[in-house]
Amino acid sequence: MRDYKSLEKYLKDNEHTWLVTGAAGFIGSNLVERLLNLNQKVVGLDNFITGSQSNIDDALSCASKNHGKSISNKDLNDKFELIEGSIEDLDICRRAIKGVEYVLHQAALGSVPRSIQMPEKTNSININGMLNMLIAAYEENVKRFVYASSSSVYGDHPSLPKVEEVTGNPLSPYSVTKFVNELYSDVYRKIYKLESIGLRYFNIFGKRQDPNGAYAAVIPKWILGALSNSKIEIYGDGNTSRDFCYIENAIQANLQASFCAFNPQIKQVFNVAVNARTSLNELYTLIRDIIKEKMDIIIPDPEFLDFRVGDITHSQANIDKAKKFFDYQPEVNFRVSLENTIDWYIKNRT
């Protein structure tokens, strides 16, 4: 098994072709940036339903800066192609995947509450779109298909920390779609011999996560709220807890899962988290304290609202399986990761 540093070193010297779906989104654009930094060739596919051109522009700009003088914008453009289109269209998936060796499938309609408002669209993108991607990946005979699953698959099962093999009943349309993704992936592994690996992300956070709108994730939403002196809302009593996981860990998991030895005998889903638990009250205090160390501003007290339907109360992952199968070694210092994220929002707030 190769450790992450050695994998990065290998990639720097060996160009491969990747498809990142959802490239204009939070996780997708961070994957694009890292792959370009590692001298890889990348095709991005996105329909911009929640992603943005500014995420792509920022990813390309960061990649060119990190390269210093060794890579020009022209070279970068030769290494990156963006296809605008929907994974709901099989022909678009087939076009995007031509010549691709590794697929990092991130495109989906995220958010539990949005899926409760928009079950049909969530189903169409997350299930039909994923099936299209599996069909296209099989036809193209890709080397590895890594896709974004979610901790929401654990549903109503109360046990903590969550181990991959013990799941409950889904609590929202979104969690149904991610569960079905895993079922399809399993069938493609068993019948079509596609090397497909699911990553169950637990509350990933970091730069370029959308802080705006009704369906924004808690960390960017609260950082922006604190910076702009607007309302910070806590659903429930604030004791709800999450295993918050820095974007660097998600990047590492995607790259390691793409190159690890593939064991067709086991169910290929892995928790991507840090095996820690932070309550919403603790999160609020941390964000407030970090920002106050950096800026002299007034940050409002949180407003407590009712619990939201479909939300799970506590979430924490056991990450032994990812450690065992692809040497996943996450950054676990939550405060430092949060500080990096806050610094980015202070510089780039919109």
Which residues of the shown chain bind ligand NAD in the complex (CB under 6 A)? Answer: 21-22, 24-28, 45-51, 86-88, 106-110, 125, 129, 148, 150, 201, 203-204, 210, 217
State the DSSP code for 152: G
Q: How far is the CB of 286 from ligand NAD (least distance, A)?
A: 18
Tell me the closest approach of the beta carbon of residue 5 to ligand NAD, in angstroms: 25
Given a contact cutoff of 8 angstroms between Cβ atoms, the answer to whether 149 and 182 are in contact is yes
Q: Which of 102, 147, 154, 174 is the catalytic position?
A: 174
Q: How far apart are CA 205 and CA 185, in angstroms?
A: 25
Measured CA to CA, the distance from residue 350 to residue 341 in angstroms comes to 14
The region that residue 241 occupies, defined by phi over 0 for left and psi between -120 and 50 for alpha, beta otherwise, is beta
Q: Which is nearer to ligand NAD, 17 or 106 (CB)?
A: 106
* Contact criterion met (CB below 8 Å) for 202 and 317: yes
The answer to whether residues 153 and 182 touch, using CB atoms and an 8 Å cutoff, is: yes
Q: At what angle do helices 26-37 and 53-66 cross, to 10 degrees?
A: 20
Contact 17, 101 (CB under 8 A): yes
Nearest alpha carbon to residue 108 among 65, 47, 39: 47
Partners of 200 in the beta sheet? Answer: 149, 271
Q: How many CB atoms lie within 10 A of CB 128?
A: 16
Give me the least distance between CB of 166 and ligand NAD, in Å please.
Answer: 18
Tokens of 56: 């792509």
Q: With contact defined as beta carbons under 8 Å apart, do 249 and 274 qualify?
A: yes
- For ligand NAD, which is the closer residue by CB, 88 or 339? 88
- Compute the least distance from the CB of residue 25 to ligand NAD, in Å: 2
Smallest Cα–Cα separation from 59: which of 92, 334, 40, 129? 40
Choose between 107 and 299: whose C-beta lies nearer to ligand NAD.
107
- Nearest to ligand NAD of 110, 173 (CB atom): 110
Catalytic residue list contains 174: yes
Q: How far is CA 55 from CA 3, 29, 69, 71, 197, in A?
A: 29, 6, 22, 20, 26
**Min dist. Cβ of residue 1 to ligand NAD (A):** 25
Find tokens 């799941």 and name the residue: 167
Q: Which is nearer to ligand NAD, 178 or 299 (CB)?
A: 178
Count of residues in the chain: 350
Burial grade of 65 (CB within 10 A; 0-12, 13-18, 19 or more): exposed
CB of 49 to ligand NAD, least distance (A): 4
Query: Minimal distance in Å, beta carbon 238 to ligand NAD?
Result: 20
Active site residues: 174
